[in-house]
Amino acid sequence: MWRFAQDFEVRDLALNTILLLFTHEADVQKVILQGPWSFDKYLIGLNQPSASESVEDTKFVTSPFWIQIHNLPFSRMNQTNAITIGSTIGRVE
């Protein structure tokens, strides 16, 4: 699924939870920014805990997605409408 110059470590923490340990921060960012990821049609929820947050206390409550709107007139393709439409689905970043 991911190809890196350096290996990464996988630790089993609990039911359906694993910890991925990367050697390089660039590899972490690649995985986080190129998501969302899935395996066998299941969403893989990824979260990078803050410095003050423990891995065990990390909450998986959101996941970023790109959405695509079809048949929108060209004159309506603007940032305001993108935010309005996207906000009906969830938080827009």
Where do the domains of the chain lie? 9-87
What pLDDT, on a 0 to 100 scale, did the predictor assign at position 57? Answer: 78
pLDDT band at 84 (very low <50, low <70, confident <90, very high): very high
Strand, coil or helix: what is 87? Answer: helix
| Cα–chain center distance at 78 | 25
CB-based contacts of 89: which residues, under 8 Å, 6+ apart? 67
Q: What is the pLDDT of residues 5-51, one digit of tens each?
A: 678 898 998 778 888 888 888 888 888 888 888 889 888 888 888 88
Place of tokens 């409408």: 81
